[in-house]
Amino acid sequence: MNFTFKQLKTFQIVAEYLNYHRAAEALFITQPAVTRNIQLLEETVGFALFEKFGKQIQLTDQGRSMLSEVEAVLGQLDVMKTNIKQNISRDKQFSLAVIPGLEDLTMEAVIEFFKVEPEAKVNIEVVSNSKIDKVIASNRFDLCISANSKLEGDYVKEVLFETELCLTACYEHRLREKKKVTPADIQNECFIEIETSESFKENMEEFKSQYISDDNTRIKIRGRNALIKAVYAGIGIALLPSYTIKEGIESKRLCVLNTGKLNLNASYSYFYHKNKVLSEETNRFLAILKDKVRELI
């Protein structure tokens, strides 16, 4: 029986609110994504978790029974994550620094890692895009996971994955079906930007030099989830890595505007000092992380 952490968490939150819309807001995902996660979980367990009474939903008897088990499991995971983030043990086996855009993916890998290494100790620190290169250079961490970093020196660099940058809009956008979107087509569009690293800024500036003019309204938003929600709402368009919009595309909340080949890509890599010998546990974690990447891409 295979189900995901995301599906279990969605079930717990829907059971708490008994409302798909409020659950979506609490989880910072779309309502169709909530519905899909529940459907997949019901298909896996083989029974309905909720039943409708008019416009309201209630847990089924089997759903109520399953909820107590799910809450116990998620409670254990919450304790695990708290222990990781607080670094309560000085006897760490390895430590990680990761940029915000990969925090969720990294945590999913850590959870899987603890299933095979329950006694391991891991320290995770989330570092802003603008500071990650300095953190890598400090050599305080066994592994650092970054994006488009051009840091050179006494480091081993391995690419985790690469993804195309896409001009993204809400699904109902007027240019969704246009075969070739030109700079003139988006001249009056609001362009939404996100805080990003210097290396990403190069891609962003290159794109803006081709497509964004002084006539475009510009908004800067901190946090990718907030940016994607703004695009969902039709506030503007944004340049985003393709893996971050996969769910929005599948649920028909987002679309990619066809600008032709932009030749702009994001590269996500991990770094460690060349004199560092990675522990068996660190290598095992990396193998799990790479498996998660394959699922993502």
Pairing of strands 217-221, 56-59: unpaired
Q: What is the pLDDT of residues 230-273, one digit of tens each?
A: 999 999 999 998 888 988 999 999 999 998 877 788 888 998 88
User: From the CB of residue 135, how many other CB atoms can be counted at a distance below 10 Å?
Assistant: 19
Say whether pLDDT at 17 is over 50. Answer: yes
Reported pTM: 0.60
Number of H helices, E strands in the chain: 10, 11
Q: What is the pLDDT of residues 113-171, one digit of tens each?
A: 989 888 888 888 888 777 887 888 888 888 999 887 777 778 888 999 988 889 999 99
Say whether pLDDT at 16 is over 70. Answer: yes
Instruction: Give yes or no for a contact between 151 and 200, defined as CB atoms under 8 angstroms apart.
Output: no
pLDDT averaged over the chain? 86
- In our burial notation (b when 16+ CB lie closer than 10 A, e otherwise), range 184-212 reads eebeebebbbbbbbebbbebbeebbeebb
Who's near 149: CB < 8 A, 6+ residues apart?
Answer: 132, 133, 136, 157, 197, 199, 269, 271
The CA-based dihedral angle spanning residues 247, 220, 222, 165, taken in that order and rounded to the nearest 10 degrees: 40
165-178 average pLDDT score: 94
Of 82-96, 124-138, 194-208, 275-289, least confident by mean pLDDT is 82-96
32 pLDDT band, cuts 50/70/90, is very high
24-35 average pLDDT score: 91
C-alpha to C-alpha distances, 174 to 30, 155, 255, 276, nearest whole angstrom: 21, 47, 11, 53
Cα gap 85→122, rounded to integer Å? 8
Question: What length is written for the chain?
Answer: 297
> What single letter denotes the amino acid at residue 204?
M
Cα gap 283→31, rounded to integer Å? 37
Say whether pLDDT at 193 is over 60. Answer: yes
Q: Specify which of 26-35, 147-156, 190-199 reaches the highest per-range mean pLDDT.
A: 26-35
C-alpha to C-alpha distances, 179 to 83, 130, 176, 192, nearest whole angstrom: 51, 36, 9, 23
Question: Which residue would you say has higher pLDDT here, 196 or 77?
Answer: 77
Say whether pLDDT at 25 is over 60. Answer: yes
Q: ∠ at Cα 267 (266, 272), nearest 5°?
A: 150
Of 110-114, 164-168, 198-202, least confident by mean pLDDT is 198-202
